């Protein structure tokens, strides 16, 4: 496997392959025919405007239409241009898409994907910079994918499109131009299967989305000091692969969680609670959590960077876990 393509190309290939495989799959969203972030660019040339549909500027209407389409046998993918705008469609996402399978006693499935760029990208301000993945682990019935590499993005999106449940697929904007190895042959990555990005024996470091790369860089620095960190990418927050994390913790006895989502009420809070409730005997130190501060992200790139976890913050969290904080 030596073909290297961008995250954008990997996502677009997933769309192309699934739309060719299954005529029920279609894409809708604001300017998807043009492809604002290029993940849907040129799809309309192959599949036409009936399957690549530009929608009005109304996220709740787009997601609501997708819910109805999914319940009647289609497989829509809705692109929300900025992750922040998912709040505008929260009613349709959380109360409709996520629960119709349950309230219909299994008579209705809701096979749909909400694909959405998210995250701080340097000076975009409070309304276009948030990482809101954790907001969607609360409502029942939803699945949440957070790929960190082009390989994972393609495999997870293909699985999400084939899933009979609604899936939120978050793409961090800083990752979109990143290149990585992606095979030409078809493959799938099951939802709920974590990946160990780096093997280590001293600390288990669970990192989400773009912070996976910061965690790997921090782990390399710590290795020079004789500290070997195991970096785990959950790849999906729901379903969560607890087994892989627990197996690592049985080896390291130290747990650090990092995300770009807000620390208060975030994924790290949930994982820390799981660790205390289920794995307490395997913790030699308190769980360390890193996340964005609970404030509106500023427009200033310098101030923005001060609000989100950095590589050095991760290094210090690992040292703090080991009682070696500087």
Name the residues annotated as catalytic: 128
Q: Which helix (H) or strand (E) holds 113?
A: strand 113-118
Q: Tell me the C-alpha distance between 314 and 229, whole Å.
A: 11
Strand partners, 233: 195
**Structure token pair of residue 308:** 């989100």
Displacement of CA 110 from its chain's centroid (Å):
20
Burial 93-129 (b: 16+ CB within 10 A, else e): bbebbbbbbeeeeeeebbbbbbbbbbbbbeebeeebb
Phi, psi at residue 200, to the nearest 5°? -155, 170
Q: Tell me the C-alpha distance between 260 and 207, whole Å.
A: 9
Are 93 and 139 a contacting pair, CB within 8 Å?
A: yes
Helix (H, G, I), strand (E, B) or coil at 6: strand
* Size of the chain in residues: 326
Burial 294-306 (b: 16+ CB within 10 A, else e): eeebbeeeeebee
Strand partners, 75: 25
Q: Tell me the C-alpha distance between 301 and 69, whole Å.
A: 40
Give whole-number Cα distances, 92 to 12, 57, 79, 89, 286, in Å: 26, 15, 14, 6, 38
């Amino acid at each position: 496997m030596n073909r290297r393509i961008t995250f954008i190309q990997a996502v677009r290939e997933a769309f192309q392959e699934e739309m060719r495989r299954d005529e029920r799959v279609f894409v809708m969203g604001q300017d998807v025919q043009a492809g604002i972030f290029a993940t849907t660019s040129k799809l309309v040339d192959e599949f036409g405007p009936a399957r690549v549909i530009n929608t009005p500027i109304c996220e709740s209407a787009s997601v609501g239409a997708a819910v109805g389409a999914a319940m009647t046998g289609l497989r829509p993918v809705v692109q929300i241009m900025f992750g922040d705008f998912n709040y505008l469609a929260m009613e349709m996402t959380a109360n409709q898409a996520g629960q119709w399978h349950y309230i219909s006693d299994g008579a209705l499935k809701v096979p749909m994907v909400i694909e959405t760029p998210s995250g701080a990208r340097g000076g975009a301000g409070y309304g276009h910079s948030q990482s809101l993945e954790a907001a969607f682990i609360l409502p029942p019935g939803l699945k949440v994918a957070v790929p960190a590499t082009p390989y994972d993005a393609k495999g997870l999106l293909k699985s999400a499109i084939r899933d009979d449940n609604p899936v939120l697929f978050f793409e961090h904007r800083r990752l979109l131009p990143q290149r990585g190895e992606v095979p030409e042959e078809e493959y799938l990555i099951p939802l709920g299967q974590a990946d160990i990005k780096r093997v280590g024996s001293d600390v288990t470091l669970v990192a989400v989305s773009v912070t996976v790369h910061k965690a790997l860089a921090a782990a390399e620095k710590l290795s020079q000091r004789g500290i070997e960190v195991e970096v785990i990418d959950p790849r999906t927050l729901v379903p969560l692969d607890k087994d892989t994390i627990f197996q690592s913790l049985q080896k390291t006895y130290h747990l650090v969680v990092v995300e770009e989502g807000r620390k208060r009420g975030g994924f790290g809070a949930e994982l820390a609670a799981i660790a205390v409730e289920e794995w307490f005997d395997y913790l030699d130190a308190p769980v360390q959590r890193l996340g964005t501060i609970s404030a509106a992200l500023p427009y200033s790139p310098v101030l923005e960077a001060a609000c989100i976890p950095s590589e050095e913050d991760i290094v210090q969290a690992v040292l703090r876990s080991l009682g070696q904080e500087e």
